[in-house]
Structure 1
Amino acid sequence: MDTGESSTRHVGETRPLSELRTVLLGAEESGKSSAANTILGKLEFTPGVKTVLTCKKVQANVSERQVTVVDTPGWVGYFPAEYSPELLKDQIAFSVSLCPPGPHAVLLVINLGSSFQEEHRRAVQEHLELLSDTVWRHTILLLTCGDTLREMTIEQHIEREGQALQWVIEKCGNRYHVLSSKNSSEVSQVSELLEMIEKMVADNGGYHFHIENKVLQDMKEKRRITEERANQRVRHVLEHREILRDLLKGGTSRPSELRVVLLGWVAGGKSSTGNTILGREEFRVCRRTAQGEKKQGEVAGRQVTVVDTPGWWKFMPAKLTPDWIKEEVLKSLTLCHPGPHVILLVIPADTSFKEEQLKIVLDNMKHLGERVWGHTLVLFTWGEYLGNISIEQHIEREGHALQWLIEKCGNRYHVLCNMKKEDHTQVTELLEKIEEMVAGKSVFYPLTETQGEVVEKIEEMDRETKGADHSTEKQKVTELMQIIDELWMKREEQLLEKMGLDRRRDNVRETQQHDRRSNVVEKKRRREAYSVMQEQITPSKRRRCMVTEEREAGWSSAGVELNAQEDTEGEAQTAPWTTDQSLAFLHNEIKLIFEKEWGRKQGMINDKVRTEVKTYITPPAKGNSMEHPLTNLRGATSSEPDTTDVATSCVKVHDWMKENHSGNSAAVFGHKCSEMDSNRPAILY
């Protein structure tokens, strides 16, 4: 609903407003925080870092107007609203109430340095219309990082970008404005934006955007119920922990060591969690874990063993999890003989967890036996994303699937802020929870009571894999998953190479990994299976997955290009593993799922690199030495880079971000793009 502020104002009559209220919405890395700082003329928001899951409101006097800016948490650029955490969607809806009686303008922020495709358009529409479908009448498209256009005009860019961006502009009534990070100090670009807002208000008859009071009341009631249930969960957990503490006080001995195994999906933060627990960089965080790895250390007066494992997929069903991952998980459990005290099921706190993810988790852990749940604790990573929102509120608001999983684990959970490794209390509290678990239970023996039988189970899985019937459709699906596995590794290698992070490697692990996936005979067999599968694909669908000549060399070993450029609503809504549809359709669906999986991985690497580089270019406190960035991304066993390596890596990161449209590179480094281009060494040092 819209509300007028002046009954005497005529439509189209532009008058200066003494107050302007704005809300900024957009995807992660769109440049919202940088745009807000530019509008306000001062540094109020922190650009270049992942924002917390709360809105922030700031006011300032700008061009003789009282301007209110509300910044909001961003969604993942091309993920639909259903994949955003419920709390994020709540914050978007709640944002307009922070500038009562409502914002004059909703500024939809899109980064000009990022490609904008159909999936981005869909994500924009779904998240924006969480407010209502009338929001477009009050929306201006704010295009950031305008200096990336160079000699091109904005109109030429819009024409070149295609229908997706043009659709958004039309929905905004052809209202758009460009902000340049190069000219962030120029007052004119902000004044022009404010005048555009005033004109839009005039065209709307003086109306501002407003949400019905009933909607706001429903939101407040929903928040009240969430907080009430969260408090109940906290009380229940504290009562249960008190019982376990009494067991420890009553004579139950504390274990001399704690053995921990990390399980979870790819890019969920398992390796980073292992480093946080041990208090040092032991596990590599940018490469996919290829095999179980054990590290030990003394933590808070305890001897702790941490075993990292390869992760399964977040969106792909367990039946499509490669056998080598299942085998490595079982082998990993034998690395901490006689068995782990706890299985830490790692789930990121900054993402959604729906029924789909619950089924995938349950199915992937099924081969460990039902007893595993009595020894499992859900560990939420990236807790800093929640800001001042408690983990209990996240659990209650996210819905039934996550709540059911927590209950399945005996209401045992913990949250870690992986970027706050200096906060040792969060690790100490985790270890205390593990000790309390051990007080009431023995250690976990996977599937059987002896390590020998575990090894026998692994060998049985090997025999089943080798003896599988390769002529069945199920085997063809397995072949496709192996191709995807190779593509993942190839993309990962290319990404890290572009960022200058591939020089220092663990030679033994790399050799094992290469032997497993690079066998010439195996690749030939997989390509033959793929050729058979291609025969079942219609010509129209075959065109969608052909390898272009430009990129054929880069993906030739995998034999298939997985960059899906098209999609239909029917395909996106159908789960291929629950139907009898053709293998051709399954192939296209997996392409889309793969891109979602890769997007999570790429986002994780981006966030890590931004933090490392931003820390490096910030002058250290007097008397403190400056650590080199990117060191932690390569592994603690590698040799230290010299100054030239560091400078080269930072420049590669900057160039890669601009080349691959990963976001506002100027905001990442906290400098103007022009400065980065003209005087790079000055920034690095």
Structure 2
Amino acid sequence: MAAVSSASDTEDPRGRHPPERRLLILGGPQSGKTSTANNILGEEFFDSGEETTHSNVGQTEIYGRRVTVVDTPSWAIPSDPQENAQAEDMDIDKDKDKDKDKDKDKDEDKDKDKDNDNPKAESDDPPQQPGPSLDSEGPCMGAILCPPGPHAILLVVSITQPFTDIERRAAEEQLGALGGGTWRYSMVLFTSVDKLPEGVFIEEHIANTGESLQWLVERCGSRYHSFDNTQKESEGNTQVPELMEKVEEIIADNQGWYFEVNELILLEEEQARKALEEERMRMEEHARQRDQMIGGPPRELRLLLLGWKGVGKSSVGNAILGRRFFESGQETELCLRKQALVSGRRVTIVDTPGWDWFSVRRTPKRIRQESQRGAALLRPGPHTLLLVLPVVSSLTARKRRTLVAHIETLFGDGACLHTMVLFSCGDWLGRTPIEEHILRGGRELQRLLEFCGNYYHVLDSKTPGKDRSVSALLDRIEEMIRENGDKAFLPIQTEWLSEESSLSSDNTEPEDDCRGCQLQ
């Protein structure tokens, strides 16, 4: 059971400090929590361009009150298809044989709701809370960061996202993790209200969205507020003052008391944090010992982009480097080398002209030589040959043989040890796992991956610099480098060096790319 305490201790009787109001912000992914927190504080305290992974605290003074705002990581949304199907079955009355069991479950839910509407029953029998997770930071940490406890808990919900029974249960589990009594301090805060159709008010949106959202609003005592985060700089913006008035009403309704997390829950949270820290330390020690055995990870990664014409090599290069270095949308004629700092590594990429998909002979000699000179620009050699293959492409036996022939003809029989298939246009997969796509791709795609030692990765090249899979790609490349042992990169051949400076469209000296590389 969570404890509740008086808010009177936040005001100094001698007037030395202004009274304080503490707000805890909770919400799901892409709900606008961080923008809302910045809006309340009146300035950019938190980075709204990145996902919140740890709870953060900001403070300001609003109308003579010191306001503390805690932004928290997004709560987890259940994604188990079986669980979702079961939740939908609970709401649909189709099968007569199952109706009896469902009615029992619904009756039990109603009884629980009645108990939850009663503060005493809620305090005596707190909701069942999930065990501490080692993968994410729970809401308790946010409550800890605004001691001795929040006066109001703001549940942020974006009107642009559907609010189904899955989101409802996620919100209920999040408050349940804090303990009993949380609903008396909670308010729904709607964001992106500027996206409402003209003439539609938030009350109509609540009525039309469905029972799950209505349940959430009713569970919060019908307390809600609307935010348009695009108006935070506009004159006459009354959103924040009106919100603070509603916070004062919550405090008055609770007779000046604030919410305080139960000590037992805090202890469980601390144990979970310690277990997470120990796991991280163990993994770091394991990585350190592994690096000592193999000579340490590279400070530089040199990558050569290869593939057919029009497969999106330039877009992939831009996505990895996080900037528009290569001109996409037009045919690459000459090799171009660019470099950037990505995820703590110095990454050098050479984009090359595309091959013919029918045969090596049909690829002009100039293009073949340009591919080799591209490798020569990565002295003393590329760590990885990235074979770009769109996920929307079908791979026939001829196409596979042509790709393999290009790699072996241009770079030698040992080039397969340094080749990785990089699936571009990853956004076309949607929620389909890449492994399922490979199975659907047939035997020819699987044979190509076997040629590359089953090293592959999928990349969404439409969001340069924002794709988390870029860091995972670099980790995968380093893993492949370690597997190659003393052959840390593909050594360049003497014949590749001819006329490389005159035919390259980059005026950077090749020797400059290799300083500090530990794999030479």
- Indicate the TM-score class for this superposition, using the shorter chain for normalisation: 0.5 to 0.7
Q: Residues of 2 paired with 1:97 and 1:176: CA distance?
A: 24
CA 1:308 to 1:52, structure 2 compared with 1: closer, same or farther past 3 Å?
farther
2:277 aligned to which of 227, 238, 243: 227
3-state SS, counterpart of residue 178 of structure 2: coil
- 1:109 deviates by 0.9
CA 1:365 to 1:157, structure 2 compared with 1: closer, same or farther past 3 Å?
closer
**1:121 and 2:168 are equivalent in the alignment:** yes
Is the 2:3–2:262 Cα contact (8 Å) retained in structure 1? no
Q: Which residue of 2 aligns with 1:64?
A: 64
Between structures 1 and 2, the one with greater helix share: 1
CA 1:128 to 1:79, structure 2 compared with 1: closer, same or farther past 3 Å?
farther
**1:308 and 2:308 are equivalent in the alignment:** no
1:218 aligned to which of 268, 272, 276: 268
| Structural RMSD (CA) | 5.4
Q: Residues of 2 paired with 1:274 and 1:329: CA distance?
A: 26
**1:97 and 2:144 are equivalent in the alignment:** yes
CA 1:328 to 1:227, structure 2 compared with 1: closer, same or farther past 3 Å?
farther
Q: Residues of 2 paired with 1:232 and 1:326: CA distance?
A: 45
- 1:71 deviates by 1.2
CA 1:5 to 1:214, structure 2 compared with 1: closer, same or farther past 3 Å?
closer
3-state SS, counterpart of residue 153 of structure 2: strand
Deviations 1:262-292 (CA, angstroms, capped at 9, x unpaired): 9xxxxxxx975784169845889xxxxxxx9
After superposition, where does 1:24-103 map in structure 2 within 5 Å? 24-47=25-48, 49-74=49-74, 79=79, 89-103=136-150
Is the 2:389–2:421 Cα contact (8 Å) retained in structure 1? no
3-state SS, counterpart of residue 144 of structure 2: helix
After superposition, where does 1:424-439 map in structure 2 within 5 Å? 434-439=480-485
Is the 1:277–1:427 Cα contact (8 Å) retained in structure 2? no
CA 1:36 to 1:63, structure 2 compared with 1: closer, same or farther past 3 Å?
same
3-state SS, counterpart of residue 90 of structure 1: coil
3-state SS, counterpart of residue 24 of structure 2: strand
**1:208 and 2:258 are equivalent in the alignment:** yes
After superposition, where does 1:308-387 map in structure 2 within 5 Å? 308-309=388-389, 334=404, 336-337=407-408, 338=413, 339-341=416-418, 343=420
After superposition, where does 1:145-160 map in structure 2 within 5 Å? 145-149=192-196, 150-160=198-208
**1:192 and 2:242 are equivalent in the alignment:** yes
Q: Which residue of 1 aligns with 2:320?
A: 276
Deviations 1:538-568 (CA, angstroms, capped at 9, x unpaired): xxxxxxxxxxxxxxxxxxxxxxxxxxxxxxx
**1:168 and 2:216 are equivalent in the alignment:** yes
CA 1:358 to 1:195, structure 2 compared with 1: closer, same or farther past 3 Å?
same
CA 1:427 to 1:197, structure 2 compared with 1: closer, same or farther past 3 Å?
same
Q: Residues of 2 paired with 1:154 and 1:425: CA distance?
A: 41
3-state SS, counterpart of residue 222 of structure 1: helix
Is the 2:321–2:465 Cα contact (8 Å) retained in structure 1? no
After superposition, where does 1:257-276 map in structure 2 within 5 Å? 272=316, 275-276=319-320
Q: Residues of 1 paired with 2:53 and 2:441: CA distance?
A: 30
Give ranges in structure 2 of 5+ residues lacking alignment. 10-17, 85-131, 308-313, 330-354, 358-370, 424-431, 490-520
- For 1:438, give the aligned amino acid: N
Is the 1:80–1:122 Cα contact (8 Å) retained in structure 2? no
- For 1:20, give the aligned amino acid: R
Q: Which residue of 2 aligns with 1:236?
A: 286
- Number of equivalent positions: 361
Q: Residues of 2 paired with 1:327 and 1:92: CA distance?
A: 53
- For 1:302, give the aligned amino acid: G
Is the 1:300–1:428 Cα contact (8 Å) retained in structure 2? no
CA 1:241 to 1:37, structure 2 compared with 1: closer, same or farther past 3 Å?
closer
1:178 aligned to which of 209, 226, 229: 226
Q: Residues of 1 paired with 2:478 and 2:8: CA distance?
A: 66
> Between Structure 1 and Structure 2, whose CA radius of gyration is higher?
2
3-state SS, counterpart of residue 302 of structure 1: coil
3-state SS, counterpart of residue 387 of structure 2: strand
3-state SS, counterpart of residue 42 of structure 1: coil
Q: Which residue of 1 aligns with 2:465?
A: 419
- 1:199 deviates by 2.1
- 1:215 deviates by 2.4
- 1:177 deviates by 0.9
- 1:233 deviates by 2.4
CA 1:131 to 1:330, structure 2 compared with 1: closer, same or farther past 3 Å?
farther
CA 1:420 to 1:310, structure 2 compared with 1: closer, same or farther past 3 Å?
closer
Q: TM-score, with normalisation over the residues of structure 1?
A: 0.42
Q: Residues of 2 paired with 1:194 and 1:441: CA distance?
A: 64
CA 1:118 to 1:225, structure 2 compared with 1: closer, same or farther past 3 Å?
closer
Deviations 1:373-399 (CA, angstroms, capped at 9, x unpaired): 9956798989xxxxxxxxxxxxxxxxx
Q: Residues of 2 paired with 1:329 and 1:135: CA distance?
A: 61
3-state SS, counterpart of residue 484 of structure 2: helix
Q: TM-score, with normalisation over the residues of structure 2?
A: 0.54
CA 1:442 to 1:427, structure 2 compared with 1: closer, same or farther past 3 Å?
closer
Q: Residues of 1 paired with 2:64 and 2:442: CA distance?
A: 64
Is the 1:261–1:309 Cα contact (8 Å) retained in structure 2? no
CA 1:364 to 1:210, structure 2 compared with 1: closer, same or farther past 3 Å?
farther
Is the 1:73–1:88 Cα contact (8 Å) retained in structure 2? no
Q: Residues of 1 paired with 2:218 and 2:399: CA distance?
A: 51
Q: Residues of 1 paired with 2:395 and 2:75: CA distance?
A: 30
After superposition, where does 1:567-646 map in structure 2 within 5 Å? none
3-state SS, counterpart of residue 206 of structure 2: helix
Q: Residues of 2 paired with 1:104 and 1:373: CA distance?
A: 61
Give ranges in structure 1 of 5+ residues lacking alignment. 10-16, 249-254, 263-269, 285-291, 313-322, 347-355, 383-416, 444-685
- For 2:215, give the aligned amino acid: W
- For 2:210, give the aligned amino acid: G
Deviations 1:444-503 (CA, angstroms, capped at 9, x unpaired): xxxxxxxxxxxxxxxxxxxxxxxxxxxxxxxxxxxxxxxxxxxxxxxxxxxxxxxxxxxx
CA 1:138 to 1:145, structure 2 compared with 1: closer, same or farther past 3 Å?
same
Q: Residues of 1 paired with 2:133 and 2:315: CA distance?
A: 26
Is the 1:139–1:172 Cα contact (8 Å) retained in structure 2? yes
Q: Residues of 1 paired with 2:402 and 2:19: CA distance?
A: 65
Q: Residues of 1 paired with 2:471 and 2:205: CA distance?
A: 50
